[in-house]
Amino acid sequence: MRCQSQQLPLNYQPVNHEHVKELAGIDDILRRHPHIKELVEQDLLVGVSDPATGAPGMNGDQVFRALIIKQMNGFSYAGLAFHLADSVSYRTFCGYGAFDQVPSRSTLAKNIKRVRQETLEAVNRMLVDFAREEKIERGRKVRVDSTVVETHIHEPTDSSLLCDGVQVLTRLMRRGSPSPSVTTASGPSGAIWAPTGPTTVANAPEPIGIC
């Protein structure tokens, strides 16, 4: 039985893992495209009067690499701060040494949110061109992953969807040319249309008894 060592080794042992190899591939691409960090750096300097003063912060390369880690794993900013401090692989990828202090959650959020949408679009076009040149992708089709965002719409119940359908049909009928007449429709639950006489498309009343 092997006795437990009282002292942990200080030297870093490379991890043989697919994710580490993936990070190494991304690192190679970023090093071959230094213009990416320059674009991010421009966003970070917006509103800064004198970049030479103040405490040293994250540079453009570190911000973009931290953004990549966050999006690859779906980390929150708190999770990103933890894994960046805990993982030697992530620290190395983002350019932090073993004894360097990594950014806090608020620092990561502040800097990553300053990267403009136009910058990310320019980086995406740059990477698509690179993939086309390297014959990795043709660049003809783009597959995106969307996120559900809360908005001000009602819950899509069966009755509400039926009501929406009737309202849309009524609106389309009003836009069309008038026809001689529209017959009334009724069912066991009551009349859908409630005309008082011969009804044309132009003067058809709004549907009642559904919503």
Distance of alpha carbon 72 from the chain centroid: 11
> Measured between alpha carbons, how far is residue 155 from residues 150, 164, 167, 208 in Å?
11, 12, 17, 20
Q: How far, in Å, CA of 60 to CA of 37, rounded?
A: 5
pLDDT tens, residue by residue, 23-59? 999 999 999 999 999 999 999 988 777 776 766 788 9
DSSP character for 182? Answer: B
pLDDT tens, residue by residue, 160-197? 888 888 999 998 888 875 655 544 444 444 444 445 55
Q: How far, in Å, CA of 18 to CA of 97, rounded?
A: 22
Residue 110 reports pLDDT greater than 70: yes
The pair of three-digit structure tokens given for residue 207, joined into one six-digit string: 């549907």
How would you class 202 by CB atoms within 10 Å of its CB: exposed for 0-12, middle for 13-18, buried for 19 or more? exposed
pLDDT of residue 9: 55
CB within 8 Å of 179: residues ≥ 6 apart: 200, 201
CB within 8 Å of 174: residues ≥ 6 apart: 201, 202, 204
The pair of three-digit structure tokens given for residue 93, joined into one six-digit string: 């990828």
Which of 48, 24, 26 shows the shortest CA–CA distance to 36? Answer: 26
Residue 207 reports pLDDT greater than 60: no
